[in-house]
């Protein structure tokens, strides 16, 4: 299975439309890829809190329609990262997952809103539902950035059948060591493939961390990006998931003492 993670540079001088057009051009070069990922609130810029409400859209708005068409044109599963969703008087950090027919087969409203040096928790409403999506290549768990610090979310996804974990993120360089650790740990402890997409660049005086990753169910990073805008590509063997879970059945050995 061919997968690709687009590591997008966030530039304060770039408008939402300019960035979308630039990323669409990158997507157009990925025909033949089975699964493509994008980062967290990449079109607006995660740390551009002053733009959140002005650039928010509903789920039936032009932003979602645009990437539904792109997934269909590329005939790929597209985890289009997240955007600021407006629903009534509430705003959410919502990620989008499309199938090759352009259908929106999964959404996830970020549950753990970041509040350390971030206005996200003040501007947005936390989600309440865990998302695991059935696809022809397996059950996919959707998560966003800060969620990586909360292992119980991913264990719940595994209990719901997750085999692949997709992470959209705007993780800063300041805590890059944590990012690298969590990418491997969440894959290893849940015996899942984990694929992440992070941002790069300096935005609102915050240096973004990059290092988007593809990690196998043994917790081994099989591909990792650096700190520049790039497209991270790899081929993964989905049979490894059931094989590893069979030969080393740690998930069956869980004990929760009462």
Active site includes 16? no
SS3 content of the chain, % helix, strand, coil (to 5): 30, 30, 40
Average pLDDT for residues 205-211, to the nearest whole number?
98
Q: How far apart are CA 144 and CA 139, in angstroms?
A: 17
What digits encode the pLDDT tens for the residues 71-110?
999 999 999 999 999 999 999 999 999 999 999 999 999 9
Q: Which residues contact 222 (CB under 8 A, 6 or more apart)?
A: 214, 215, 216, 234, 236
* End-to-end Cα spacing for the chain: 42
What digits encode the pLDDT tens for the residues 125-169?
999 999 999 999 999 999 999 999 999 999 999 999 999 999 999
Nearest Cα neighbor of 165 from 83, 236, 258 is: 236
Tell me the two tokens of residue 213. Answer: 């990753």
Q: What is the fold of 2-252?
A: Nitrilase/N-carbamoyl-D-aminoacid amidohydrolase (3.60.110)
Residue spans of the domains in the chain: they are 2-252
**Considering the entire predicted model, what is its pTM?**
0.97
Q: What residues does 195 pair with on adjacent strands?
A: 166, 214
Q: How far apart are CA 70 and CA 81, in angstroms?
A: 13
Average pLDDT for residues 66-71, to the nearest whole number?
98
Q: Which residues contact 66 (CB under 8 A, 6 or more apart)?
A: 20
What is the pLDDT, as a whole number, of residue 193? 98
Active site includes 120? no
Q: Could you say which of 85, 145, 192, 199 is catalytic? A: 145
The helices-and-strands tally (H runs, E runs) of the chain is 7, 14
Does the structure show a pLDDT above 90 at 217? yes
Tell me the CA distances in angstroms from 69 to 100, 105, 110, 219, one per residue in order.
9, 14, 24, 34
**What is the dihedral angle through the alpha carbons of 30, 227, 113, 63, rounded to the nearest 10 degrees?**
-30
Tell me the two tokens of residue 104. Answer: 């929106």
Going by pLDDT thresholds of 50, 70 and 90, the confidence category of residue 258 is confident
Active site includes 69? no
Residues 45-73 as b/e (b if ≥16 CB within 10 A, e otherwise) read bbbbbebbeebbbebeeebbeebbebbbe
Q: Could you say which of 55, 85, 110, 120 is catalytic? A: 110
Q: Could you say which of 9, 40, 55, 229 is catalytic? A: 40
Q: What residues does 143 pair with on adjacent strands?
A: 167
């Amino acid at each position: 299975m061919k997968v690709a993670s687009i590591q997008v540079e966030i530039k304060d001088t770039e408008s939402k439309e300019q960035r979308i057009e630039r990323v669409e051009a990158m997507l157009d070069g990925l025909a033949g890829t089975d699964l493509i990922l994008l980062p967290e609130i990449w079109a607006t810029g995660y740390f551009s809190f002053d733009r959140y409400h002005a650039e928010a859209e509903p789920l039936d708005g032009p932003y979602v329609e645009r990437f539904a068409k792109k997934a269909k044109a590329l005939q790929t599963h597209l985890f289009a990262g997240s955007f600021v969703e407006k629903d009534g008087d509430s705003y959410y950090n919502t990620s989008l997952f499309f199938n090759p027919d352009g259908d929106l087969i999964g959404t996830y409203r970020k549950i753990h809103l970041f509040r350390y040096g971030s206005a996200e928790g003040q501007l947005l409403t936390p989600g309440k539902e865990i998302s695991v999506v059935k696809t022809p290549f397996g059950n996919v768990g959707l998560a966003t950035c800060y969620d990586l610090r909360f292992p119980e979310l991913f264990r719940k996804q595994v209990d719901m059948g997750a085999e692949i974990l997709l992470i959209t993120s705007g993780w800063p360089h300041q805590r890059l060591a944590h990012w690298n650790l969590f990418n491997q740990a969440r894959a290893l402890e849940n015996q899942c493939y984990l694929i992440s997409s992070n941002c790069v660049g300096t935005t609102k005086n915050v240096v973004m961390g990059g290092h988007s990753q593809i990690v196998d169910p043994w917790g081994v990073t099989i591909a990792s990006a650096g700190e520049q805008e790039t497209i991270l590509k790899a081929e993964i063997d989905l049979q490894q998931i059931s094989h590893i879970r069979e030969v080393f059945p740690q998930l069956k050995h869980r004990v929760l003492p009462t």
